[in-house]
Structure 1
């Protein structure tokens, strides 16, 4: 367990067999004033139906925000119930659980009150951009995806024309995105990879527009 700095925003993370690995790494690299208080990684071969989820999810955790990367619906729903009792907000990206904050992807999280340093730094991407002679000179991340794709794509944009950057950043993000490509939403017609690409392209477009 990481020692808690009193000024840090405390995260507690639940995952299954490393399901939050890339996002945890991104938070550690790009997050500031955030302490990962505890990571609970459930490694068991889980049954299809879990009648006693308390055998897998402890009650004695504390933090300012819970990140729920659990895949089993019984465990995920039980975790949200516990957090509701404790008064701790839960983000469960890509899930649909009453009582949790459920953006379509980690980079789909909008600005919300109560999410502290995590919500300020991670979610819907926001860039600042420098342009010279019609080409991208530099990109600066103000807010990005916890998986790190918002930062990783920058080197692929430097030196290319503005038009080329706008037309390719979405595709480049899809290559970097760690979301499950098979997780297609039949209701909205969206896939997480395409969604991530579109919102990063929109972020770059906003950054370019704000220069004038």
Structure 2
């Protein structure tokens, strides 16, 4: 399986590194500074190699760029993943565009909320990446080991797993949420920041693993 990752500035580099541990990765880097509105997105100089991938993960964080990626992916790319929520464009419009061009489009505020996709052509990717899954070994009330069975694309799940080893079981879920928030994730911060949802997801998934 080949995965294309569209980079922009600091965004997408960790994801490309994480994905490359399991799959062939092709990266294409956009200019960091793009105009707010791109009047003629069809003139964007995307290489053909990007659209030879099975999946494209776009960190363009720009609606016009993502619309053009979906348009050009028609008949070539199976899935286009768009982390970044509203910065990536209107979820409804992006999904409708995907239907128009026969491309499966997933728009997520945070990559650790990505669901499993039971599609034989891409199943392997979604078994490795998306909403985290852990396998935890406990000895005398203390976490002995944590295996990441499924990781967030950004790598935060692996960071959380490493930090939980040696911790008491009763404090592990809350700490999982805390460690998610101190990982250099690019989810929005503040009172209504999406980082809080990411923290809750990791807390809940650790609780689930501890229940067995």
Range of TM-score over shorter length: 0.7 to 0.9
Give SS of 2:153's match.
Answer: coil
- In structure 2, what is the equivalent of residue 196 of structure 1? 198
Q: Could you state the TM-score of these two structures normalised by the residue count of structure 1?
A: 0.83
Counterpart residue number, 2:2: 10
- Asked if structure 1 preserves the Cα contact closer than 8 Å seen for 2:3 and 2:24, the reply is yes
How many positions carry a matched residue from both structures?
Answer: 193
Gaps of 5+ in 2: 86-90, 99-104
1:107 to 103, 112, 134: 112
Give unmatched runs, 5+ long, in structure 1.
1-8
Q: Partners of 2:174 and 2:47 in 1: how far apart?
A: 48
1:69-84 mapped onto 2 (5 Å cutoff): 69-84=59-74
Please provide the CA RMSD for this pair. Answer: 1.9
Return closer, same or farther for 1:195/1:177 CA change in 2, 3 Å cut-off. farther
Q: If the length of structure 2 is used for normalisation, what is the TM-score?
A: 0.83
* d(CA) in 2 for partners of 1:73, 1:135: 47
The alignment partner of 1:127 has SS state of strand
Contact 1:177–1:196 (Cα < 8 Å) also in 2? no
Runs of 4+ in 1 over 3 A off after TM superposition: none
Higher normalized helix content (fraction of residues): 2
Shift of 1:101: 0.5
Residues 1:24 and 2:29 aligned together: no
Give the corresponding residue for 1:4: none
Q: Are residues 160 and 45 of structure 1, via their aligned partners in 2, closer, same or farther at CA, if it must alter by over 3 Å?
A: closer
1:153 aligned residue: 160
